[in-house]
């Protein structure tokens, strides 16, 4: 019995070490998903960020055609990475609106000049209130909105080339 007690601390240490190591190898999913998926778009009334484009209003999304709502910032590096995919979606006939988070007209205009402009509308969200209302936790995030103004899906992070076909299928199914 005494021999077993001598080894108990080492066995306990090995168990704790194994538990910690398994947590490091397979960390928990810390993705924050929006609780708004499956619900109507919250009341948005964002003034235009650029004089050349209208702002964002919830009523714009209930006109029968599915569309994307992209939450972005000109200061966001992954937003630059997703720009080619947004342009590909636009070429495929997808209407894309945007909410610019804590941004300036000059910075957004420069961003669009460098990376292309896939947006039909850009709303200004200087304090992040609209972003919070959507349940968005960062940029970039893209919401798929059906023709009745209901959020049907959320894409967290930058849209990559391999994501485009699935987004197109979901928009087609939302018609």
What local confidence, expressed as pLDDT, does residue 104 receive?
97
Q: 43 preceded by cis ω (within 30°)?
A: no
What local confidence, expressed as pLDDT, does residue 33 receive?
78
Query: Does residue 87 have a pLDDT over 70?
Result: yes
The string of pLDDT tens digits covering residues 123-134 is 999 999 999 999
Query: Does residue 136 have a pLDDT over 80?
Result: yes
**Checking phi first, is residue 46 left (phi over 0); if not, alpha (psi -120 to 50) or beta?**
beta
- 64 vs 9, which has greater pLDDT? 64
What local confidence, expressed as pLDDT, does residue 51 receive?
95
What local confidence, expressed as pLDDT, does residue 114 receive?
97
What local confidence, expressed as pLDDT, does residue 27 receive?
67
What local confidence, expressed as pLDDT, does residue 46 receive?
97
What local confidence, expressed as pLDDT, does residue 22 receive?
76
Mean pLDDT, rounded, of the chain: 91
The pTM of the full predicted model, rounded to 2 decimals, is: 0.83
The string of pLDDT tens digits covering residues 1-30 is 677 677 777 778 888 887 777 777 776 666
- Name the strands in the sheet holding 151-156, side by side, starting at the edge strand that comes first in the sequence: 119-125, 96-101, 67-72, 141-145, 151-156
Nearest CA among 89, 86, 141, 92 for reference residue 116? 86
Q: How many CB atoms lie within 10 A of CB 147?
A: 15
d(CA 164, CA 171): 11
Residue with tokens 């029968």: 64
Nearest CA among 109, 112, 104, 115 for reference residue 81? 115
> Cα-flanking dihedrals φ and ψ of residue 143, to 5°?
-110, 135
- 142 vs 35, which has greater pLDDT? 142
Mean pLDDT across the stretch 92-108? 97
d(CA 159, CA 148): 24
Mean pLDDT across the stretch 134-142? 93
Domains of the chain by start residue, with CATH: 45-173 (3.40.30.10)
């Amino acid at each position: 019995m005494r021999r077993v007690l001598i080894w108990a601390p080492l066995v306990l240490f090995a168990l704790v070490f194994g538990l910690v190591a398994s947590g490091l190898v397979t960390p928990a999913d810390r993705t924050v998903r929006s609780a708004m998926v499956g619900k109507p778009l919250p009341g948005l009334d964002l003034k235009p960020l650029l004089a050349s484009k209208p702002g964002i209003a919830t009523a714009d999304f209930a006109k029968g055609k599915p569309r994307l709502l992209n939450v972005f910032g000109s200061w966001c590096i992954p937003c630059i990475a997703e720009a080619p995919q947004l342009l590909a979606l636009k070429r495929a006939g997808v209407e894309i609106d945007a909410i610019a988070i804590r941004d300036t007209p000059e910075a957004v205009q420069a961003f669009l000049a460098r990376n292309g402009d896939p947006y039909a509308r850009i709303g200004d969200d200087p304090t992040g209130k609209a972003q919070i209302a959507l349940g968005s936790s960062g940029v970039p995030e893209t919401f798929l909105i059906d023709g009745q103004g209901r959020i049907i899906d959320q894409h967290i992070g930058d849209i990559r080339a391999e994501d485009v076909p699935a987004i197109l299928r979901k928009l087609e199914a939302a018609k």
